[in-house]
Structure 1
């Protein structure tokens, strides 16, 4: 039964935002594997979306280097979303990226009846700007507080402390991706488990320890020649 007079409840949007480090340290295999991993995860994102018909999954991509910009200018339905490769350029100004994301987490532009957004941050380095200012801007927004957050650290040089602060919960893990295979597993998990968690029509964000629906993947050591 619907709680809305006159018919069934309409689909409520789930905004999934990739926040991708495209600094020069991502050059070569890292950026190539990141592009490949996200492209390959799209069919699984569609499958999860179809399993949650009350939620409308909308995807958007932001890149950051010396500046932050929207790689995907407007949110796109996962059924219509196609991956466009990102390129490296410049430094690691994470604060600019978080501030840009914060502006999209206000109401408006976010609708009042949306489900929790997903913020998926991927980085391999250390921020060069005042990143906490951007993080505070996200935390100050209604939807930033409710967001399901995922953080993926690529390689040994990634600042895991920064990524842990972004998560805002010491019981949530930063995902370590030290090889192409581990990166693919982390991206696949972020693309599916986070969407499942966000699609649940409950108030608030992910504030408790991860349960079975949001348990991190086991990223085992592998035999890849490339270890970042």
Structure 2
């Protein structure tokens, strides 16, 4: 952690980017509505996690992808001011285009040379319809792309787990499974809060084991409000 003259803590930016599937299949069985609700419910927990890390100034954005990709929230927004606006679903699954949008923002500049590792959370219910592999290689060729804390959430039984695993890029970390609205709320909340904790740690490599432990939030005072175990509900998606 940096110190300014006089002992004041100098925080570093922590960029958090949602990468969200808005293809037509997300309209089925209420998946899009459930994703909107899950992110909205996660915001207070993200704010709490950010407040507990004085060395981090958390800035949030979101990319949507379907037929093409664009910024749903383009300008980095301080988490304290962050308000979610609902996404809608239609079109195909141009995930590679979304990766390229993120890659452009991870270059230096616009990313500063001194920052905390960015957090990238991908959520998808299907298979990419464009060349996501080349786009992912481009993302990983950027220094901040390699250093990013990357997590993925599989929404329903048709999600391409291999593709999501490619995005994560660590064999020991697997995609989180969300099979219904309740489990999606839990996994979105778990992914966002634990990823913030890992990225803002002075030793993020040592903290990465939290990403595959269901009890990662055990030391939080409000643990009873955090159901972070893997979902075991009946499959509805």
- TM-score, reference length from structure 2: 0.88
Q: Which one of the candidate residues 204, 209, 212 is aligned to 1:211?
A: 209
Matches within 5 A, 1:1-228: 7-28=7-28, 29-202=30-203, 206=205, 210-212=208-210, 215-216=213-214, 217-222=228-233, 227-228=236-237
Structure 2, unaligned runs of 5 or more: 215-227
Q: Secondary structure at the match of 2:196?
A: helix
Q: For residue 136 of structure 1, report the CA deviation from its aligned partner.
A: 0.6
After superposition, the Cα gap between the structure-2 partners of 1:213 and 1:23, relative to the gap in structure 1 and judged at 3 Å, is closer
Contact 1:16-1:117 within 8 A present in 2 as well: yes
CA distance in 2, matches of 1:187, 1:160: 17
Between 2-11 and 22-31, report the one with greater CA deviation: 2-11
Query: Unaligned 5+ residue runs, structure 1?
Result: none
Change (3 A) 1:3 1:64: same
2:2–2:10 Cα contact (<8 Å) kept: no
Q: Secondary structure at the match of 1:71?
A: strand
Aligned Cα RMSD in Å?
A: 1.9
**Which structure is higher in helix share?**
2
The Cα offsets for residues 124-166 of structure 1, whole Å up to 9 and x where unpaired, read as 0000100011101110101000000110000111000000010
Q: Distance in 2 between matches of 1:15 and 1:38?
A: 16
Give the TM-score normalised by the residue count of structure 1: 0.92
Cα separation, partners in 2 of 1:170 and 1:2, compared to 1, 3 Å? closer
Report the alpha carbon displacement of residue 218 of structure 1 after superposing the two structures with TM.
2.0
Structure 2 SS opposite 1:72: strand
Shift in Å, 1:211 = 2.1
Residues of 1 paired with 2:2 and 2:112: CA distance? Answer: 20
Count residues in correspondence: 223
Query: C-alpha distance in 2, partners of 1:2/1:98?
Result: 31
- 1:72–1:194: structure 2 CA closer, same or farther, 3 Å change rule? same
How far did 1:3 drift? 5.4
Q: CA 1:89–1:122 in structure 2 vs 1: closer, same or farther (change >3 Å)? A: same
Q: What's the CA shift for 1:16?
A: 0.3
SS of residue paired to 1:211: helix
Q: Quickly say closer, same or farther: Cα 1:50–1:3, change in 2 above 3 A.
A: closer
**What is the CA distance between 1:214 and its match in structure 2?**
5.5
